[in-house]
Amino acid sequence: MSGKRTLFGTDGVRGRVGEWPVTPDQVLKLGWAAGRVLAGDNGDHPRVVIGKDTRVSGYLLESALEAGLSAAGVDVLLIGPMPTPGIAYLTRALRADAGVVISASHNPFADNGIKLFGPEGCKLADGVEAAIEARMADPLLTAEPARLGKATRVDDAAGRYIEFCKHTFPKELTLEGMRLVVDCAHGATYRVAPQVFRELGAEVIEVGTRPDGFNINDGVGSTRPEAMAEQVVAHGADAGMAFDGDGDRVVFADSRGRIVDGDGVLYLAALEMQKRGELNGGVVGTIMSNLGLEQALAAAGIPFERAAVGDRHVFQLLQDRGWILGGEPSGHVMCLTRNTTGDGIVTALMVLAELVHSGKSLEAAVGDLSYCPQAQVSVRLNEQREVDDLPAVAEVIREVEAELGDEGRVVVRNSGTEPKVRVMVEGREEAGTRALAERIAEVVRSEVGAGGS
């Protein structure tokens, strides 16, 4: 969010379609620049997998990206609508040199973006992204006609990913007898997620499985899990799950319609993996993870560390510690023995397997986790400013921290995916915590903001 424009944010390239950097010419150039970095100076002929979510702008950006990659001499494997973790898996399975996802995740349909994976299905290293961005300044020189890339559509991609997901579920278990609400946010999971759960034996009630290019994340999905929770209660379901637009997040509801977020998933998974000797260390959360999660894990003797917000930071800290389980309250959970990135469907199967193993309901499995009151406010920015550079904001943060003492936390940060400042306050009681968060947000608004959203 600084004054200097850089192409890559915390989760690839993202913005409103038609505005920098998500314009046809910019995306075409990005495809070419990425292709030139992948090809190197020795004239290699790499292969790149391209998938997308269900936004109407995906057609436009897919064509631009394909043209840029082809101009750089890269062969393209077109997947079509596919969850982000599915592209990570297919990049490895098809032995491609890179994978690209056209998606803006949980953002509204008018936004879109580009995420890139390396050949192992992990987000590109910062150094590779920097090399691609440096190439953007070079003139776009088309490869020799004999070296131009080809494009091929992979017709069995959905089936490949469905089988991958099912293979993460223990063979001796079944979901028979379970009634599940599955909310796909009218996004990338709309075809594959219901089929995965049905093939494992569950009765599935679908929500958000009719994308039209414009309704992705609109009143459904992990950012609006209330729609899913209502259907759980209405249908007497055992549980429900809501994915985000690109399928790397999942949020649950128990049979009473109470939301279980990523912190709850981490708690449940950590305890069960600890019992079976599979945890291999501790758990990585983020600065947004609830203090209650940290306290509950400490009571179970499980180490907990916080990373900066963003899956790449969680992944990096897991790598540094040699741990395998981490995630965010948003429902972006990683278990590195199952996939190389957050995978909503695989995470859901992990939770359901634990419930079948234990014979517990979801509410019983997370019943010992007590959340500290946490208030979050978002302020949309009118100008590109780093909140850390605003003295008035720093002063009100110091005041609020002094009032909270040792019984709360304050996190104020620029979003890495939207032009917003996120304010989070954790405290002793709900009303006071909300008032403190609004107090900080009001100062942010007075400096650079337009209002809450």
Which of 105, 222, 289, 330 is the catalytic position? 105
Given the structure tokens 């190197």, which residue do they identify? 40
Give Dmax (Cα) for the chain: 69
Q: CA 184, CA 208: separation in Å to the nearest integer?
A: 5
Strands (E), 118-253: 151-153, 179-183, 203-207, 239-243, 250-253
Q: What is the DSSP letter of 27?
A: H
Q: Are 183 and 162 in contact (CB under 8 A)?
A: no
Q: Which residues pair with 422 in a beta bridge?
A: 378, 413
The answer, yes or no, to whether the previous bond of 21 is cis (omega within 30 of 0) is yes
Nearest to 324 by CA among 332, 312, 314: 314
Element (H, E) at 61: helix 57-71
What sign for the dihedral angle of Cα 52, 99, 5, 379? positive
Query: Is 446 tagged catalytic?
Result: no
- Helix, strand or coil, per DSSP, at residue 326: strand
Q: CA 70, CA 150: separation in Å to the nearest integer?
A: 6
Identity of the residue numbered 107:
N
Active-site residue set: 105
